[in-house]
Structure 1
Amino acid sequence: MIKKMLIIAAMVFMVFSLFGCNTTANDRDGKIGIRGTVTEISPDGEYGAILVEGKVEEDTDYDKASVRVTKDTLIQKDALSKLHEFSDVKVGDMVEVIFDGPVAESYPVQGTAGIIRIITAKK
């Protein structure tokens, strides 16, 4: 009897663990998650995270996002075919972020960038 109760309790815990953190699988077909200004950069070795703040527009979903940048993130600027580095992103740059994978619906949202497009670089 105790063994059955422990199994049921473990199953209930697993269900709450899976659904307790509200995430959304933001549209991954090239939809821009956020367009805005880079207000903070948190390097972590060669990569890190950026905080982007903007406005929700017709073609975007969020006004503020904490964006993880990984080795798989494509960073584009000017000639879109040229690859850029995380160190090319500066506070004050206007960027567009296309998320890769689920986005945690905290505030600000948190997700990993698939693509970061630097629209205008801070001079």
Structure 2
Amino acid sequence: MTVPMSVQENIRRLDSQGVAVREIARRLGVSRASVAKYAGQEDFSPALPAPVARPGASVLTGFEHIIEGWLGEDQRRNRKQRHTAKRIFDRLVDEHGYTATYSPVQRFVRKWTVRNRHVTIAR
């Protein structure tokens, strides 16, 4: 059960005056646990909901293996000759009929790069 804000304010006021938890609970007609909870609570802002991953298929479904192939080949190339996320997006649009936006490509490339950062391939 939620304690009304007016009662919460009274709990904090009485607690700041040094009134015992049992006495506050008796005076206000709430449990000692509620008094302890609201007397010790400093931030009364509601908790933000946890971010939830969106379900469903990615717009990149079917293109992942193509992108991974390009990025895998790039590991054998000099740094300046590797694909950027923008170049991968442009190639997907031009060569494979990709119709979605750039952002999913950018996120995929970033995740792939982090996963494969320390993989070294002999030249």
Q: Compute the TM-score of the two structures, normalised by the length of structure 1.
A: 0.25
Which has the larger helix fraction? Answer: 2
* Greater Rg by CA: 2
- Between 1 and 2, higher relative CO (CA 8 Å, sep ≥ 6) is seen in 1
